[in-house]
Amino acid sequence: QVILKESGPALVKPTETLTLTCTVSGFSLTDAKMGVGWIRQPPGKALEWVAHIFSSDEKSYSTSLKSRLAISKDTSKSQVVLTMTNMDPVDTATYYCARIWDDFLTGYYIPFDYWGQGTLVTVSS
C-alpha cells in the first residue's frame, strides 16, 4: 500500500525558512526511476507544481521559486525534504507531496499517482 505523509510547521513567520518532510511507505526511494514531488495550493486557488526529485538524485524546481528552494532525500528514513527560504504571506498554501515514477515495464511516465493528505502552512507574523 503506497502512502505519503507530509509533516512540518503549520505556521511560519515572514522571512523564515520552511522545512517540510514527506515520509513514504509502500515503495522505495531507491527504486529505479522513482520520485517524489511537491505541489502546493493556496486557499481557493489552483495547484502549483513546486519541485520533484528522483532516485537518481535528479532534481527539478519551479522556475519562479527556484532561488528559494532545495529538495533532498534521505533514503534510510524514506523521506523527501523540501526547504523554502524567505517565506512570505503569498506562500500560504496546502503543500502536498506525491509519487512520480517511470514505469519501465510499460514504458510510461506516471505523474503524481499517489498523494499525501496535504499540510496547510500559514505565513503570518
Partner 1 sequence: DIQMTQSPSSLSASVGDRVTITCRASQDISHALAWYQQKPGKAPKLLLYAASRLQSGVPSRFRGSGSGTAYSLTINTLQPEDFATYYCQHYYSTAHTFSQGTKLEIK
* Positions that interact with partner 1 (CB under 8 A): 37, 39, 46-49, 52, 60, 62-63, 96, 98, 108-113, 115-118
Q: Which residues pair with 4 in a beta bridge?
A: 24
Whether residue 22 contacts residue 97, with contact meaning beta carbons closer than 8 Å, is answered with yes
Beta strands 18-25 and 3-7 are antiparallel
Q: How far is the CB of 47 from partner 1 (least distance, A)?
A: 4
Q: How far is the CB of 58 from partner 1 (least distance, A)?
A: 9
For partner 1, the closer of residues 16 and 60 by Cβ is: 60
Q: How far is the CB of 125 from partner 1 (least distance, A)?
A: 27
Q: How far is the CB of 49 from partner 1 (least distance, A)?
A: 5
Question: Residues near 117 by Cβ (< 8 Å), separated by ≥ 6?
Answer: 5, 6, 96
For partner 1, the closer of residues 76 and 107 by Cβ is: 107
For partner 1, the closer of residues 29 and 116 by Cβ is: 116
Cα separations (Å) of 64 from 10, 61, 67, 69, 74?
23, 9, 8, 10, 26
Query: What is the side-by-side order of every strand in the sheet holding 18-25?
Result: 3-7, 18-25, 79-84, 69-74
For partner 1, the closer of residues 12 and 35 by Cβ is: 35
